[in-house]
Structure 1
Amino acid sequence: MTINPGAAEFPHRQIASQIRAQVRRGDWAPGERLPSIPAIATNYGVAKQTVQRAVDQLRVEGVLITKPGSGTYVRGTKRRLNRLSRGRYGAYRGYHSDLAARYRQQLTEVGRAPAPAEVADAFGVADGVELVVRRHLVRTQDAAVEVGASWFRLADAAGTSLERHEAFGRPLYQEAEEVTGRRYVSATDSVSARQPSRDEAEVLQIRPDTPVLHLLHIAYDTAHKVIEVAQATWPGPMTTLTEEYKVPAPRES
C-alpha cells in the first residue's frame, strides 16, 4: 500500500481510492472488518488523521460503515428501493406486493401535531397549524431503512380511522379515499438531499453527518385539492431510488 506524495491528489483521497478499489475487487467482503486505523496508517506511512479522513469519505459514500467501539466494516450491498410514490400505489390501485415482500412497515405514532413548514406549505396553511399525522418506520430484515409520516387536515381525518392507532388491511390511500369520500387522481414527488435530524440519525443508525434523501409527496383529488401530504426519509449512501418508465415514440408527421 503506497501513496504518491508528489501527486496532485491529496493523500487521504489516494488512500480512499485504493480502499474503494479493494472493496470492488472483493479483497474485503461485505460485512468484513478492516484493519484498525493505526494499522492502515502504518501500512501507508501516513498520520492516523489522514486515514481517518479517507475512512470518513468512504463512509459518506456508503462504502464503509463505522461501529462505535467495534471498528470499520465494509457495508453490505446498497439497498435498491422502488419506493417513490408510484410504487406505493401499485400498478392497479392495489397493494404493491413486491414492496410488502421486502419491507415491513411499522406504525409508530398517530395523533395531532403542528404542521412542519413543508407540510404547511403543501396544504396552504400557516406553520404550526394542527394536523392529523400517522408516523411510520420501514425495516428490512437487518435495518431500519425509512422514517416517514402522512399528514391530513383535521376536517378530513378528525375522529375517523385515520386518527386511530391501527393498521389497515389495505394501502393507506384507499382508507383515506373511503374516509374522505375523495379520490386520489394525481400527485407530485419532490426528492432532496440534506443532513438528518438527531432523531432520524438515531433511528436509521447513521452518523449525524451522513446525508439523507427526503421525499415530499403531495396527493390531490379530482379538484386538485390536497388530500394527503406524505414524507419519507432514507439514509442516502445506502439508498438508490429507481423509476421505470417508457419513452414515447416520435409522432408521425
Structure 2
Amino acid sequence: MPREAPYLTLADVLRARILAGEWEIGERLPSRTRFAAEYGVGRNVVQRAMDRLIVDGLLEGRAGSGTYVRVPRERLRLVRSRHRERRDGSAPWHDRRERGRADAWDSHSQVRFPAPEPIAERLAIGPGDFCVRTRYEFLADGQPVQLSESWEPMAITEGTPIVLPERGPLAGKGVVERMRSIGVVVATVVEVPRPARATQVQANLLGISVGDLVLQIERTILDTDGRAVETADMVIPDVRREVVYEFGVDRP
C-alpha cells in the first residue's frame, strides 16, 4: 500500500490538536519553523499541511501576521451543471438541496471597453476590440459568495437590446437566453478551474483574508459555429464553497 503523503499525516496531527482545544479560536499558531523542528519535516511540508487545514476551514492565514484558528464555518456546496432544469420545468434534486445559492447580485457594466490581450485571445478577437465588461458581486443571504468579470464582444451585441447584460428586456436572464434572442445559439461552455490566493481587492469584496485560497474559474461560452460569445473569470472563496461539477451521460 502506498504511504500517505507527509503533509497529509502532519495535517491530521495538527487537526487533532486543534479539535482538542490546544489552541483557542482566534489564537495564533506557532511558526512553521517551530512545527518543522518539532516534527522533523521541511517547512514546505508544514506549509502544505496548514494550507490543507485552511481549505478545511480550521485555520486562516493573515498576511504578515501568521496563521490563526478560525471560527468554524459551514462550507456550502455549489453545483456546476448543464442539467439545471428538468423538461417539466422543475428544479433538479441538487437545486433543492444546495443551500447558500446566490440570491442577489450587484453589477456594473462598461461599454466600448478595449479587450486586453489575454481576453482578446480567449474571444478570438483583436486586442483593443470593443467589448462590454461587466463586474459582478454575487450574494447569498446578504453575504458575498462569488465575484465575476464578464466580457462580451460588441461585434455581436452592439445595436441590439441585449448589449447591456443587466439592462433591457432580458436583463439578468443569462448569456444563453440573451444570445438566443438575437439569433445566436450557444452550443458549448468551457470552464478551466484553477486554485489561487485572494488578492487584497478580492479579499475586501468577499470578506475573507488576503492570501486565503480561492477557486478561479475561466469560463468561455461558444456558439454553434465555435465563436466565443462571452468569456468570464469567476472567483469563489474556497473556505466557504465546495464546487462540484455534474456531468450527464449520453445514452446510446
Q: Which has the higher helix share?
A: 1
- The yes-or-no answer on 1:102 pairing with 2:101 is yes
Matched with 2:25 is: 34
Work out the CA distance in 1 between the residues paired with 2:184 and 2:90: 19
**2:114 counterpart letter in structure 1:** P
Equivalent position SS for 1:242: strand
What residue is the counterpart of 1:203 in the other structure?
Answer: 205
What is the CA–CA distance in structure 2 between the aligned matches of 1:230 and 1:48, rounded to whole Å? Answer: 37
Aligned counterparts of 2:32 and 2:133: Cα–Cα separation in 1: 47
Say if 1:36 and 1:100 are closer, same or farther in 2 by CA, change over 3 A.
Answer: closer
Give, in angstroms, the shift of residue 229 of structure 1.
Answer: 1.6
CA contact (8 A) 1:85 1:217 kept: no
Q: CA deviation at 1:125?
A: 2.2
Q: Contact (CA 8 Å) 1:62, 1:237: kept in 2 or not? A: yes
Which AA in structure 2 matches 1:107? D
- What is the TM-score when the length of structure 2 is the normalising length? 0.67
Match status 1:21 vs 2:16: yes
Larger mean CA deviation between 92-101 and 136-145 belongs to 92-101
Call closer, same or farther: CA 1:211–1:165 in 2, change over 3 Å.
same
Preserved CA contact (<8 Å) 2:100 2:141:
no
- Provide closer, same or farther for how the CA distance between residues 226 and 205 of structure 1 changes in structure 2, counting only shifts above 3 A: same
1:170 to 173, 179, 182: 173
Contact between 1:135 and 1:150, CA under 8 Å: does it hold in 2? yes
1: CA distance between counterparts of 2:196 and 2:178? Answer: 31
Structure 2: runs of 5 or more not aligned: 1-5, 36-45
TM-score by length of 1: 0.67
**Cα 1:188–1:90 shift into 2, 3 Å:** farther
How large is the Cα RMSD of the aligned pairs? 4.0
Give the structure with the larger strand fraction: 2
Matches within 5 A, 1:63-212: 63-65=58-60, 72-82=69-79, 84=80, 86=82, 90-92=85-87, 98=95, 102-112=101-111, 113-141=113-141, 143-159=143-159, 160-163=161-164, 165-166=166-167, 168=171, 170-178=173-181, 180-212=182-214
Identity, in percent, stands at 19
Shift of 1:94: 7.2
